[in-house]
């Protein structure tokens, strides 16, 4: 088992190169299952969720060739329509994209219900099932598995108005509809950058998807998808995480290999807090010299402030002068990190779906435990900003979604070390 030891209190300086977007990669890999040929996918992040999804494809008969650190070739020509077992699906929420991909290719899917980060509340998939049924699939949930299939072996295009804006449901129905018969019109859809990236991937393989990134997506089903090459967009949330780290620790960092437009919602909030952000081509120069100012933020679907940046911003707001309020309108109970921040001296109260943060002069190092991916990243930020030593356990959550996170922070002058520990030590550390 691994933990991170962090000596905090130093500003960050240097450059960080942003990897491919996790939430695009975990959808594009399942989508490759629909392609009758070789998909060469570039700028793929080296994270455990990607490794897991590639292994699920391999178990279904795909052949995977690692070209280099960030490029794989996936050949699903001979893939069979097998079951995605519980042991795989429970470890990654994005395993549910296998349903849309298998339905798209075979008009039949048998996939265990997904796992993924636990925010203390439910993570329903009713909108996914609504979409599959609209396309003509019969859907049942039995024994922890989702069984879906079209009686006549083909899905038919349909009009679908989502009751809730859902990233997962938008992508899953896009996958299932890409090889269906006829026109599918999806409304009240999610517009995140990774939605557009998945649509662009599908189109580069011969699909006909229009309107991704707007409120209405139209998909005209095609007979088959051919192979091709696709490069994944840079990760908006990874970039935002390093921006929040500069806000919390101070210093100056160039965030390289990003799409500045995707960062607008995060940049705007940091500017409000007194952080300087300058756009330079495909980079942002982020600088924080003086004190941080308090800010209020409400998370919203894109182009609003992303819920996946909420814990990281909270880490910075712990040291902002004044009282800040964070409201999470997407995951109402995404505040399990607050108790860990309180162990470091943070002054935070949580009421329902909002956190009230009274800024303090500084945090103090402590033993803390990551409880989900973004909370874990926020704990690294808090530990790097705090005075003294922190020990972070539960780091496997962080490594699900951040490539080389220790190396990247060390290169910025962060004093963070990854050490192996006995499982019993981890329990002791968890306190
Ligand atoms: C995706 O999760 C992301 N995960 C999450 O990022 C992210 O927090 C979330 O979108 C919102 O942006 C991946 O892309 C793998 P949703 P997803 O469906 O698809 C409700 C991270 O840190 N809802 O957009 O599961 C739901 O309860 C992860 O990278 C329904 O009611 O989220 C929530 O309130 C954590 N019924 C809202 O919609 C449904 O069928 C948004 O959920 C589906 C969702």
Is it the case that residue 7 has pLDDT exceeding 50? Answer: yes
Is it the case that residue 431 has pLDDT exceeding 50? Answer: no
Distance 388 CA to ligand 1 centre (A): 36
pLDDT band at 92 (very low <50, low <70, confident <90, very high): confident
The half-sphere exposure of 402 on its side-chain side, counting CA atoms within 13 A, is 27
Query: What is the rounded average pLDDT of the residues 28-53?
Result: 97
What is the residue with the minimal CA distance to atom 8 of ligand 1? 308
Atom of ligand 1 nearest to the CA of 117: 35
Query: What is the rounded average pLDDT of the residues 163-189?
Result: 98
Going by their DSSP bridges, the two strands 145-149 and 159-161 should be labelled as unpaired
Please state the separation of Cα 56 from the chain's center in Å.
19
d(CA 254, CA 95): 34
What is the residue with the minimal CA distance to atom 28 of ligand 1? 308
Q: Counting Cβ atoms within 10 Å, is residue 308 exposed (0-12), middle (13-18) or buried (19+)?
A: buried
Is it the case that residue 298 has pLDDT exceeding 80? Answer: yes
What is the residue with the minimal CA distance to atom 26 of ligand 1? 123
Atom of ligand 1 nearest to the CA of 121: 27
Is it the case that residue 93 has pLDDT exceeding 60? Answer: yes
Q: Return the HEC string of 330-341.
A: CCCCCCCCHHHH
pTM above 0.75, yes or no: yes
Atom of ligand 1 nearest to the CA of 372: 22
d(CA 253, CA 381): 14
Is it the case that residue 261 has pLDDT exceeding 50? Answer: yes
Query: What is the rounded average pLDDT of the residues 157-177?
Result: 98
pLDDT in tens, 338-367: 999 999 999 999 998 999 999 999 999 999
- By annotation, the residues acting in catalysis are 117
**Pick from 363, 376, 388: which is nearest to 337 by CA?**
376
pLDDT band at 424 (very low <50, low <70, confident <90, very high): low
Q: What contacts 269, CB < 8 A, 6 or more positions away?
A: 295, 297, 305, 313
Distance 168 CA to ligand 1 centre (A): 6
pLDDT band at 310 (very low <50, low <70, confident <90, very high): very high
Is it the case that residue 88 has pLDDT exceeding 90? Answer: no
Q: What is the dihedral of CA 269, 273, 274, 279, to 10 degrees?
A: -20
Distance 125 CA to ligand 1 centre (A): 9
Pocket test for ligand 1, best of 121, 330, 352 (most atoms within 8 A of CB): 330
DSSP type of residue 364: B
Look at residue 121 in the predicted model and tell me its pLDDT: 66
Atom of ligand 1 nearest to the CA of 22: 29
pLDDT band at 91 (very low <50, low <70, confident <90, very high): confident
Look at residue 117 in the predicted model and tell me its pLDDT: 67
Q: Return the HEC string of 180-245.
A: CECEEEEECCCCCHHHHHHHHHHHHCCCCEECCCCCEEEEECCCCECCEEEECCECHHHHHHHHHH
pLDDT band at 428 (very low <50, low <70, confident <90, very high): very low
Atom of ligand 1 nearest to the CA of 190: 24
What is the residue with the minimal CA distance to atom 22 of ligand 1? 308
**What integer best gives the mean pLDDT of the chain?**
95
What is the residue with the minimal CA distance to atom 43 of ligand 1? 125
Look at residue 90 in the predicted model and tell me its pLDDT: 85
Is it the case that residue 429 has pLDDT exceeding 50? Answer: no
Query: What is the rounded average pLDDT of the residues 134-155?
Result: 93
Distance 42 CA to ligand 1 centre (A): 25
What is the residue with the minimal CA distance to atom 10 of ligand 1? 167
d(CA 252, CA 249): 10
Secondary structure tally for the chain: helices H, strands E? 14, 23
Look at residue 430 in the predicted model and tell me its pLDDT: 36
d(CA 227, CA 128): 27
Query: What is the rounded average pLDDT of the residues 312-332?
Result: 97
Query: What is the rounded average pLDDT of the residues 262-290?
Result: 97
- Residue 99 in tokens: 């349903």
Atom of ligand 1 nearest to the CA of 127: 40
Q: Report residues whose beta carbon is within 6 angstroms of any ligand 1 atom.
A: 22-23, 26, 93-94, 117, 123-128, 164, 166-169, 190, 307-308, 330-331, 373-374, 401
Distance 165 CA to ligand 1 centre (A): 9
pLDDT in tens, 109-139: 999 988 766 776 667 899 999 999 999 999 9
Could you tell me what percent of the chain has a pLDDT over 70? 96
Distance 237 CA to ligand 1 centre (A): 14
What is the residue with the minimal CA distance to atom 16 of ligand 1? 166
Is it the case that residue 374 has pLDDT exceeding 80? Answer: yes
Look at residue 197 in the predicted model and tell me its pLDDT: 98
Look at residue 85 in the predicted model and tell me its pLDDT: 87
d(CA 249, CA 289): 9
Distance 208 CA to ligand 1 centre (A): 25
Pocket test for ligand 1, best of 50, 164, 236, 378 (most atoms within 8 A of CB): 164
Is it the case that residue 426 has pLDDT exceeding 70? Answer: no
């Amino acid at each position: 088992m691994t933990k991170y030891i962090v000596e905090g209190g130093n500003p960050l300086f240097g450059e960080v190169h942003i990897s491919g977007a996790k939430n695009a990669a975990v959808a594009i890999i399942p989508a490759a299952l629909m392609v009758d040929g070789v998909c060469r996918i570039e700028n793929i992040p080296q994270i455990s969720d990607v490794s897991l999804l590639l292994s699920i494809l391999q178990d279904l008969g795909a052949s995977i060739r690692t070209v280099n650190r960030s490029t794989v070739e996936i050949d699903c020509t001979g893939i069979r329509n097998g079951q995605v077992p519980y042991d795989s699906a429970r470890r990654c929420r994005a395993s549910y994209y296998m349903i849309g991909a298998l339905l798209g290719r075979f008009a039949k899917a048998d996939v265990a219900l997904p796992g993924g980060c636990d925010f203390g509340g439910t993570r329903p998939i009713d909108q996914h099932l609504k979409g599959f049924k609209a396309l003509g699939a019969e859907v049942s949930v039995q024994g922890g598995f989702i069984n879906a299939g079209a009686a006549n072996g083909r899905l038919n295009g349909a009009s679908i108005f989502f009751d809730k804006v859902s990233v997962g449901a938008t992508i899953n129905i896009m996958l299932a509809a890409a090889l269906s018969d006829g026109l599918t019109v999806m409304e009240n859809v999610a517009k995140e950058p990774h939605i557009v990236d998945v649509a662009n991937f599908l189109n580069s393989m011969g699909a006909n998807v229009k309107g991704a990134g707007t409120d209405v997506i139209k998909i005209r089903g095609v007979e088959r998808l051919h192979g091709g090459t696709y490069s994944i967009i840079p990760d908006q949330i990874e970039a935002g995480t390093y921006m929040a780290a500069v806000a919390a620790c101070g210093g100056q960092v160039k965030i390289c290999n990003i799409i500045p437009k995707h960062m607008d919602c995060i940049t705007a909030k940091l500017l409000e807090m007194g952080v300087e952000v300058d756009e330079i081509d495909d980079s942002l120069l982020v600088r924080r010299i003086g004190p941080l100012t308090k800010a209020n933020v409400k998370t919203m679907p894109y182009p609003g402030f992303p819920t996946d940046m909420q814990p990281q911003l909270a880490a910075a707001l712990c040291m902002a002068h004044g009282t800040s309020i964070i409201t999470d309108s997407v995951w109402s109970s995404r505040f399990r990190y607050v108790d860990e921040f309180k162990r470091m001296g943070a002054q935070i109260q949580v009421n329902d779906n909002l956190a009230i943060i009274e800024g303090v002069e500084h945090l103090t190092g402590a033993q803390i435990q990551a409880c989900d991916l973004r909370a874990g990243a926020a704990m690294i930020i808090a530990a790097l900003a705090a005075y003294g030593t922190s020990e972070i356990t539960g780091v496997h959550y962080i490594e699900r979604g951040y490539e080389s996170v220790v190396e990247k922070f060390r290169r910025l002058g962060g004093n963070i070390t990854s050490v192996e520990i006995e499982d019993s030590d981890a329990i002791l550390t968890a306190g």
